[in-house]
Amino acid sequence: MYNYEECSICQQKMRNFRIRRVQAQKRQFILMMAMLLIVFGYLIWQVNRNIEKELEVITVYKPIFTEVSAEPYQISDVEEIIDVQEDKELYSYNTLELPTEATAEFKTYMDYRKIKDKTSKQWNLQQLATTNEEGFRVFNGRYLVAVGTYYANEVGKELKITLDNGFVFYAMVGDIKKDIHTDANNQYIPMNGNIIEFIVDADKLDPLTKKLGNVSNSGFEGKIAMIEEVISFE
């Protein structure tokens, strides 16, 4: 059997062992916490670094937009010259034949509200168009017109039209005339020789123009000397 002194020594050794074990566990805990702090610190640093890179990219490549008026403008002589210079680089033109039996000196109009089919391209285009000060429906600076199928068989086609007095304007096809209403070549209306029919807001037309049924009174005097199809290079 063990004597008292041997038991005391054993108890002391046991206490020392427990103390060392606790200290070892504390060191392990501290080491683990330090490793966790290092890992979390690295992750936070990496996230901040990625955010800074993204902000630099956004700053460098942020697009600059120029606000422009949505209201279309009336084409003047000066503006027309600028358009022609730009068109030489951006567009080409295909000259379309004019009828020999009609001069298009009489230029009719139709109210845009007569386009009622909400599933049609004609109707959708009118939702994007606006009415200028003279009562003409315009889109992207182009007058919206109706033509026979000889000149266009789809809505959205752009035309460059020159009058015999030298005035040039751009138009976009907003409606297609039915073949039964045009001549054999589907170029003009035999009753009045009309080739281009302007789409308008009849409530805002000049009273005399509205009475005559002819928009020539509103700045489009003269015969049509040339019709060209606008072909974009883009």
Same domain, 87 and 196: yes
Report if residue 141 sits inside a domain.
yes
**One domain, residues 111 and 11:** no
Question: DSSP states of 25-86 as a string?
Answer: HHHHHHHHHHHHHHHHHHHHHHHHHHHHHHHHHHHHH--------SS-----HHHHHHHHHH
Read off the pTM: 0.61
Q: For residue 2, tell me if it sits in a domain.
A: yes
Structural domain containing residue 22: 1-64
Three-class SS of 136-198 = EEEECCEEEEEECCCCCCCCCCEEEEEECCCCEEEEEEEEECCHHHCCCCCCCECCCCECCEE
Q: Is position 71 within any domain?
A: no
| 72 in any annotated domain | no
| Number of domains observed in the structure of the chain | 2
Task: Please provide residue 187's backbone torsions phi and psi, each rounded to the nearest 5 degrees.
Answer: -105, -35
Share of the chain above pLDDT 90, in %: 54
Q: Kindly state whether residue 54 falls inside one of the protein's structural domains.
A: yes
User: What mean pLDDT comes out for the span 133-151?
Assistant: 96
Considering only residues 185 and 29, tell me which one the structure prediction assigns the higher pLDDT. 185
Residue 70 lies in a domain: no
Residue 125 falls within a domain, yes or no? yes
Note whether 197 and 115 are same-domain residues. yes
